[in-house]
Structure 1
Amino acid sequence: MPEHNSTGREQDESIIKLSFEPDGLLPNNPQLPAVLYKGVLRDHPEDTELIFNNNGWLNSWVNGVFPYHHYHSNAHEVLGVISGSARLQLGGDAGYTADVKAGDVVVLPAGTAHKRLSATQDFQIAGAYPGGADYNTRRATPEDLAAAVPEIREVPLPERDPVYGEAGPLLRLWK
């Protein structure tokens, strides 16, 4: 059974649920939590992109994470660490600092701010979107915030968890 702690996080052995309120010019997603799966793909991190694609999270890429706050207002995003490690800021400056390494997966609901604080030289991450959504990239500006808020409300829930498929915990956490 997941355990709740004073930071608003729900955890079990490998799943951390993170809820974020708006943070200045970053909308985040007060209705849906970000979900961090610690070590879920540690045995085969090189298969991360394939696993996402097989679960219907498409339009994938392999690269890094921008070193500035950004978010996607028209799509949910999954990020899976293939190699190396990084420190990511989730939810804006008042959010959560996640230390991620190969095998970790972060699922970000539309509007959730994220940026790279630091990374090892070999850091690589795969990203993908439910149904292969064509995503936008927004930053912390008044114009982007005004456009993003109505878009975030229109993003449909995914049909499958990017790691576990039809029976994944994401579907329960995002009801």
Structure 2
Amino acid sequence: MNAILNRINEPKDLKELTHEELVTLSHEIREILIKKVSTTGGHFGPNLGMVEVTIALHYVFNSPVDKIVYDVSHQSYTHKILTGRKNAFIDSNQYHTVSGYTAPNESEHDFFTVGHTSTSVSLACGLAKARDLKGHHENIIAVIGDGSLSGGEAYEGLNN
């Protein structure tokens, strides 16, 4: 059953997959999310809607050098699966080992612990400013959903 996912231990492993394998991986991750969230609780919609987007982000960019910032973290389960925490979603005895949110203490791929909407753009602006001050050139990616665009902090971030 998770033939492709078993080969993924960190985002760079995605770069070895064919297009067909990436599609299969998205199906495997969806099955895991549906099984896990239906038995333990969590957020179905945001995570199921972000499977392919998250795979694409990790395929194209070089996390954790390139920094991906998720808004509210409710769409970060696939990110967690691809960044070394898949066993927490596969093995019910390990589910308690991961937060429902991004958590810097869990992974070098997580940069903030957030639970409020509309924060990703502003947080990404802060990371970009720090990057520029250091003279670095890594990419900073803000992932924000349509519901989060109703918050003023998102517009403050877009203004910068």
Name the TM-score, length of structure 2 as normaliser: 0.27
- Whichever structure has more strand as a proportion of its residues is 1
Name the TM-score, length of structure 1 as normaliser: 0.25
Name the larger-Rg structure.
Answer: 2
Higher RCO (C-alpha under 8 Å, 6+ residues apart): 1
- Whichever structure has more helix as a proportion of its residues is 2
